[in-house]
Amino acid sequence: MTETEICNMALGELGAELLTNYSTDTTKRAILCRTFYPSILDAVLRAYPWNCALVRKTLAADVSAPIYGYDHKFPLPDNPYCLRILGIEDIDDFKIEGRFILCNESSINIRYISRIANTAIFDSLLVQAIAMRLAAVLSKPITGTVDGGLWQLYSSMVQEGRTMDGMEGTHDSWESNELTDVR
């Protein structure tokens, strides 16, 4: 799947003429697609932890410490670019400030949602979600009206992705000792 094909799925939903090439087409539709596609891609990836966008990394602390509150800070990864932290292994007390993770550990293992540039690795439901959100955003400038039904289709694509991703692999275990600790 290419950016051209994803944009054409969105344009097709709107009944608009399709693009020849996402990168080189000079039509108003192509310019709108190039304007909105990158931020829509990031928003859809951030909205749900799609399996194809998950990354794990070990980070070392930055040479400069936070001014107060925590002992260490860690720059968020740029390669691949971190869109959202999902968790830090064995650490509950941390904060995200700007492009840094603040905590009291000297090394951390993180799990995060990354920005994906290679459309060939997109999950098919992710493609559908991107296309529906793009169509929803483009509906006003292309057709002159906002199509709320496209936002509902986008939501259902994210929900379907959540369902399908949930069927792959084992579920993360969660344990609470809160009640037994009280005794």
Question: What pLDDT score was predicted for residue 105?
Answer: 95
Look up the pTM and report it: 0.86
Question: What pLDDT score was predicted for residue 174?
Answer: 44
Using CA atoms, how far apart are residues 118 and 107, in angstroms rounded to an integer?
A: 30
Q: What is the mean pLDDT of residues 12-16?
A: 96
Residue 142: how many CB atoms within 10 A of its CB? 20
Sign of the torsion formed by the C-alpha atoms of 33, 36, 42 and 43 = negative
**CB neighbours of 34 closer than 8 A, spacing ≥ 6?**
22, 23
Which of 17 and 147 is assigned the larger pLDDT?
17
Q: Six-digit token pair at 119?
A: 């459309």
Q: Six-digit token pair at 160?
A: 């379907």
> What DSSP element (H or E) covers 100?
strand 100-103
**pLDDT, tens only, 21-48:** 999 999 999 999 999 999 999 999 999 9
- Structure letter (DSSP) for residue 120: G
- Please report, for the chain, the start and end positions of each structural domain, with discontinuous segments joined by +: 3-49+123-166, 53-114
Mean per-residue pLDDT over the chain, rounded = 91
Question: What pLDDT score was predicted for residue 166?
Answer: 73
Report the length, in residues, of the chain.
183
**pLDDT, tens only, 154-163:** 999 999 988 8
Judge whether 21 and 139 are in contact, CB under 8 Å. no
Using CA atoms, how far apart are residues 122 and 133, in angstroms rounded to an integer?
A: 15
Burial 164-174 (b: 16+ CB within 10 A, else e): ebeeeeeeeee
Using CA atoms, how far apart are residues 8 and 46, in angstroms rounded to an integer?
A: 23
**pLDDT, tens only, 78-104:** 999 999 999 999 998 999 999 999 999
Question: What pLDDT score was predicted for residue 164?
Answer: 85
Indicate if the pLDDT at residue 179 is higher than 70: no
